[in-house]
Amino acid sequence: MSTKLQWGVIGTGNIARAFARGLAESQTGELVAVGSRSNASALAFVEDFPAACHGSYEALLADPRVQIVYISTPHPAHVQWAIRAAEAGKHILCEKPLAMNLAEARSIVDAARRHGVFLMEAFMYRCHPQIARLVELIHNRAIGDVRLIRATFSFACPFDPQSRLLNAALGGGGILDVGCYCASMARLVAGAACGKPFENPLAVKGVGHIGTTGVDEYAVASLQFPNDVLAQIASGVQLNLDNNVHIIGTEGSILLPSPWVTNNARAGFSKILIFKNHIPEEIVIETDRGIYALEADHIAEQIAQGRTQSPLVSWDDTLGNMQVLDHWRMEIDGSPY
């Protein structure tokens, strides 16, 4: 019998395929089952990633081989299937954002707590060693006191009103899809600047462009943190941006050219650039596994140690990030979420 953590995947989209590829190179996990709303979709998935095939999510959750589920459905379905997974006694890795709003996220966390299962929001970038190095640099005051954080994550997708990214009913829009990364990073750095795992902002001010499909096509926000730290974040699904993180301190700055390591799904390297007196110092971080393999291995380690949450993306961290997204979206169109 295998000693590896036995994974089931709920959903068969592109991100599920990326995770399955990463899981195959992990040291601790293996894919044993895939569940889809249609048997045809599940069958197509297991042609590339051999596993048991289930034509419904319910069937996957009933599979006794599955110890942990990776939920990769569109955002609005996260709350239902994360809670159902917890009720079935399965550990959970759920794609970001954990839910559509703070109330839903709290209900998922409560379910995980009640049933004693592991739960983590899938901010895979947090599992990459470049983030641990970044936090170390901030702790050691490599650029003095942090004063300003700039984080962007935005791209221009093909205009398809029915696509997940542009359909409001599917949780479309840049803030939920990629703005969550920027908010997460800003809160991480603001926390590191004062010796905490994360920090929540004192104020969130946002503006954005709502497109014809009713979702935020691109948006920006300003965040005010304790200790005189400010952040400017931007996201979008209809606008290409630089997609980096720039942290400015009293004695220099730090640039992460590839903060979300989306171009490093496989093993390779990433860079951190430190600027003092306009002279760059380059720090190279190498990995022997891709980002999703690192994520899977981190989770297996936490479960093996009996933990129900990760120190890299704790439940309180997830809830704080969800609250920022709620405020940002409310700033743009005034709708309660």
Which residues make Cβ contacts (< 8 Å) with residue 282, sequence separation at least 6?
A: 271, 272, 273
Could you check whether the bond before residue 97 is cis, i.e. omega within 30 degrees of 0? Answer: yes
- Is-catalytic flag, 4? no
**How many whole angstroms separate alpha carbon 335 and alpha carbon 330?**
5
Contact call for residues 189 and 259 (beta carbons, < 8 A): no
Structure tokens that stand for 90 in this block: 């399965």
- Which spans in 233-311 are helix H? 291-304
Pick from 152, 179, 226: nearest CA to 328: 179
Q: What is the CA radius of gyration of the chain?
A: 19
Pick from 67, 100, 46: nearest CA to 299: 67
Q: How far is CA 23 from CA 6, 100, 266, in A?
A: 10, 26, 11
Q: Which of 96, 196, 205, 271 is catalytic?
A: 96
Pick from 60, 50, 10, 58: nearest CA to 30: 50
- The structure tokens 């009933």 sit at 62
Structure tokens that stand for 309 in this block: 């949450």
3-state secondary structure of 103: helix
**How many whole angstroms separate alpha carbon 222 and alpha carbon 227?**
15
- Cα dihedral 199, 205, 210, 215, rounded to 10, equals 20
Query: What is the SS3 string spanning 104-148?
Result: HHHHHHHHHHHHCCCEEECCHHHHCHHHHHHHHHHHCCCCCCEEE
Catalytic residues: 96
